[in-house]
Structure 1
Amino acid sequence: MSESQPLLRDASVEEGSSISLADEVKPEQNYFSDVPNFFWIELSLLLNVFLAGFDGTITASTYATIGSEFKAFSSASWITSSYLITSTAFQPLYGSISDSVGRRMCIVFALLTFGIGCYGCSISKSMGFLIASRAFTGIGGGGLISLSTITNSDIIYPSKRGLFQAVQNLLLGTGAVCGATFGGFLTNCLGWRWCFGLQILPTALSLFVAIRSIPNQITFPHAEGPIYKKIDFKGSACLVVGLTCSLLVLCFGGNELQWTDWRIWVLVIVTVASTVIFFEQESHTEAIPIIPVNDYKSGFVVINIIFNFCVGLASYSYLFTLPLLFQINLGDSVAQVGFRLSIPAVATPLGGFAAGYLITKSRNYSRITILGTTLMAVGNGLSLLISEKLPKAAINLFLFPANFGQGLAFPSSLFLFVYYFDATKQASSTSTVYLMRNIGGVWGVTYISIVIKTVLKQNLPAHLAMLHRLSKEEIDRILAAILESVDILGSVDSDVKEVLVQDYTFALRITQAVSTACCVIALFCAIMSRKGRSYNC
């Protein structure tokens, strides 16, 4: 097989078809793909997905210990934020660049960067070096999931694609659960450095298999000339700078810096300028565009971009609000919170498997997306009813629909968007979907903190003053403590605790209402996209 040939044989794409590669190319003796070394390719790709899920949550249970060891607890949140910023900023580049240089080269680069970053984390001697290593890890981590999805789209028959996406979702969820669960265990037994060091061996294994087994397919064999002319360097730089600055605004604004701080405004100006230059560049570049904006002008595309942003925001907001609600309103311990969260953790891969089955049987992506988004809206709405007054069984039942719906909606909406385009655009369109979900996710996590801080600062001092026994200094101390940690609830008098719980719960209800509204907007977009495009499913 030539490295300039596609992994699957070319097939024409009919207008209105949701299938980019015709099923009639499938030889009778092969069930999933006609690509050599299919098993080993899948081993590498699925291992990459598991690593991405594992690494994405491993710091949730370790950053407090790491911050205490380095005596830099105030900077500990950047262990997670630095990875999130770089992975989100670099993720969309992998689609277009892999079209230029081939899938294998990009997968090898992502794994090398990821592995070197993990090694750097494991030997860090300072918080600054650890944060820098996490940022470096994110450059590679941003490509692990998207490249796996893109490569599977290249090599697997469309009729079987949903099944493998379901398996990919399962491994991503399993990796995330393992990272959150075993991170604390590894920290207690072996030390936090092993949380990063243990990822090096499976990364090396995946790298070896990728080099040996994955053909370096190039989607654009007709693009003649040197490779460097195919890569949109200016667009890449503008996109990375714009996304990084926008994420820094969300991370710093209202936290380390006031929204009126001049440094925030500088970041905003750089974000806007970089974004404008990026879109101008993508409209006229002679290289392979990172995001083909000239193809993204139809109503169908715009609606689906809004959809993916909304579901990304809603899913992250929902997941990060629940632990606080359980601790504040229900009075759960950390162990009890973990047990309750196991329900949505299981519901997501179950929804993914259901989506895979339904896609394989019907390939009606629109209906599956609408069903999943409806369940997300219902689940987010039900979370508004969770309180200590509800029976335990009802609370557990309410936790299932949103994540099961997410498992249905995410893969089906991905295919709905990707198969709108022909095969030469599917890598960049896949990156676009993940980019919009990631940006929505960052917004979802960030606005929770903004809403909580804003509501508590506005309401709590006045409500505590109504107790008529607390001085202004005591009120300020309580406010500062509750903004830092909910642990203060166990050390204050019952009347003060009641006020804290009431105001904190009110702030959480606002975030839940916003995530529910985003699900409703996403549902509207899903319905509109069905009307706007006809699919042969």
Structure 2
Amino acid sequence: MPIEHQATDCSGDDSIEPAQSSGLVLAVLPKEPSNAKLALILGCMWVGVVLTAIDSTIVATLLVPISTTFKSLGSLAWLGSAYLIGQAASQPLCGRLTEIFGRRAGLIVANSTFGIGTLICGLANNEGQILFGRALAGLGGGAIYAVSTFVGSDLVPVRKRGVITGINNLCYGAGTGLGGLYGGWLNDVLGWKWAFLIQVPLIFVATVLVYFVVKVPTKKVDKSNIRRVDYLGCITLITALVLFLLGLNAGGNLVPWKSALVLTTLPLSIIFFALFLYIEKNVASEPIIPLHLLQNRTVLAASLTYCFDHMSAFGVLYYIPVYIQLLGYSTTQAGLRLLPNSAGQAVGALAAGFIMRAYGTYYNLSILTHLFTVVGSGLLIHLSLTTPSWYPFLILAIIGLGFGGMLVINLTAVISSVQRDEQALATSASFVFRSAGSTLGVTFASAVFQNVLKEALWSRLGQVADAGDIIHTIRGNFQEISHVDPLYRQDVLDSYMVALVAVFGTTFGMSCLAALTGLFMKEHKLHSNISRT
């Protein structure tokens, strides 16, 4: 069927009816806005993006004090995974739902959900409450980032989109940099709960800005299409992910690997994942991951690269603060050491965007960015209790440069390799891999950390009287390290260091896999206008 493109202005209502006549479909394309209008729309959305970024590194630096409050260091992974599972649940659905109800409505709901979840975290009195709040915040935070990306795809040509994505990641990088420092400082001054509570009025302001400013024209779709959204696929995927994480985090940590919990959850996760694939192929009318998209070599390679890179990055993000605090530094100082990583991400993302706009290519740039991530991740293996204080700054900056560039390059590769009407869907599908990678990264790192730590402590303290009680206490409460008998405190520190090096060895392996899968992407033309003509 012939397709004719019709441009529309983005200054009015955010719902526009496409014209149809005599078999001719008029695909509604938004008119490219002026730079001032574009800056206003994106700027208001990016307020929410910055807040979600702040929230992510607040938790990274507060993992130790929060787990100490609830005496739950052994289940530390769930503080990160709960948020990331929420992300994984919301991001696949964002593309379809915001095409039905509009991008602005989606952002308002996302900001509100993020705010409620953050408030619950600030008021939490037990581990269950804060995990629920983190999951709810993840639902909203994941949607904020995804929908802001969709709006950029709606309004900006592919060749220029790298710059917009770079600025988006610049905002995210600024937020992650401020978040660690801000969260650590508030914990030292007022307590960790205020790190969440102070965000709530700012999230309200971000929601108001979105309501009054973000008006993006979208194709008007029959609201009955909401029944076609792939809820069943999303539920089975999240169920598979949660079961897998539960078994992986509990095995060898909370219960033996041969326990009924592990032997039940891991096989069930495989069954639910197989069911998810069956639903996507045979049941869902509009699947969250259309399997035909994964037959596109670039989409598949970029998605796998996303997954492995996020596994590595989030393993590092959540365990570098543990290393810093093991050396005796405060949470504020731990947050300060995350700044180079955030700055590197911002610089890498923006630089990649400008380079792609200038040259119209991304493949060789992808290889270069992965050189940074692999080298940086490899250098982490050499951390020790006597490492110079400047060394982590340098390593995290190197990793950040590569990771920030990768985010922009992969998104550009995915979007350029599919038809325009599949952009939001392909982006949502790639976000599934990102969210899964982030969640798996934290959980794999936690499983390695807890199992190696347990073994190392028993090998060093096994002959000590009441060794079982001492080891249990140390693994549940980080602050107990300072109360350990000086005769074997060094053994405890060495055990923690062995576990951390094992974590960083795991993240290095994930970086290598990401670099390898990135080589399978193909170069596609980066068009200079929205209609791709």
Superposition TM-score, scaled by structure 1 size: 0.82
How far apart, in 1, do the equivalents of 2:130 and 2:355 lie? 43
**Where does structure 1 lack aligned partners over 5 or more consecutive residues?**
8-20
Distance 1:204 1:197, change over 3 A: same
Deviations 1:336-375 (A, max 9, x none): 5444333223222122222222222223222222111111
Identify if the C-alpha distance between structure 1 residues 192 and 497 changes in structure 2 by more than 3 Å, giving closer, same or farther.
closer
Report the equivalent of 2:290: 292
Write out per-residue CA displacement over residues 369-407 of structure 1, whole angstroms, 9 at most, x where no aligned residue.
211111101111122233466655555434432221111
Structure 2, unaligned stretches of length 5 or more?
1-7, 19-27, 528-533
Report the more deviating stretch, 366-375 or 250-259. 250-259
Share of identical aligned residues, percent? 26
Indicate whether 1:247 and 2:245 are aligned: yes
- Single out whichever of 137-146 and 266-275 deviates more from structure 2: 266-275
Q: Is the 8 A contact 1:232 1:285 kept in 2?
A: no
Identify the residue that residue 90 of structure 1 maps to in structure 2: 90
8 Å contact kept, 1:89–1:243: no
Q: 1:506 to 1:397 in 2, by over 3 A?
A: same
For residue 377 of structure 1, the aligned residue among 360, 374, 378 is 374
Instruction: Describe how 1:86-485 pairs up with structure 2 within 5 A.
Output: 86-124=86-124, 128-187=128-187, 192-215=192-215, 217-218=217-218, 226-285=224-283, 287-326=285-324, 328=326, 336-387=333-384, 392-393=389-390, 396-464=393-461, 470-471=463-464, 473-485=465-477
- Could you tell me how far 1:408 is from its partner in structure 2? 1.3
Specify whether residues 40 and 390 from structure 1 end up closer, same or farther in structure 2 by C-alpha distance, changes over 3 A only.
Answer: closer
Measure the CA separation in 1 of the matches of 2:322 and 2:63. Answer: 18
Q: Which moved more, 1:255-264 or 1:57-66?
A: 57-66
Q: Distance in 2 between matches of 1:72 and 1:135?
A: 17
Corresponding residue for residue 509 of structure 1: 501
Residues 1:86 and 1:261: Cα distance change in structure 2 (over 3 Å): farther
What amino acid is the match of 1:514? T
Distance 1:520 1:241 in 2: 29
Structure 1 pair 193–235 and aligned structure 2 pair: CA distance change class (3 A): same
- C-alpha RMSD over aligned residues: 3.6
Residue 12 of structure 1 corresponds to none
Report if aligned partners of 1:26, 1:157 keep a CA contact under 8 Å in 2: no
Distance 2:297 2:109 in 1: 36
TM-aligned CA distance change 1:389 to 1:148, over 3 Å: same
Q: Distance in 2 between matches of 1:379 and 1:269?
A: 35
Relative to structure 1, is the Cα distance of residues 143 and 200 closer, same or farther in structure 2, using a 3 angstrom cutoff?
same
Specify whether residues 265 and 187 from structure 1 end up closer, same or farther in structure 2 by C-alpha distance, changes over 3 A only. same
TM (norm. structure 2) is 0.82
TM-superposed deviation, 1:297: 1.9
Shift of 1:485: 4.6
Aligned residues: 507
Find the residue that maps to 1:296 and give its secondary structure.
helix
1:46 is displaced (CA, Å) by 0.2
* Counterpart contact for 1:371–1:409, Cα < 8 Å: no
SS at 2:338's partner residue? helix
* Cα distance change on mapping 1:527 and 1:265 into 2, 3 Å: same
* Letter of the structure 1 residue corresponding to residue 91 of structure 2: Q
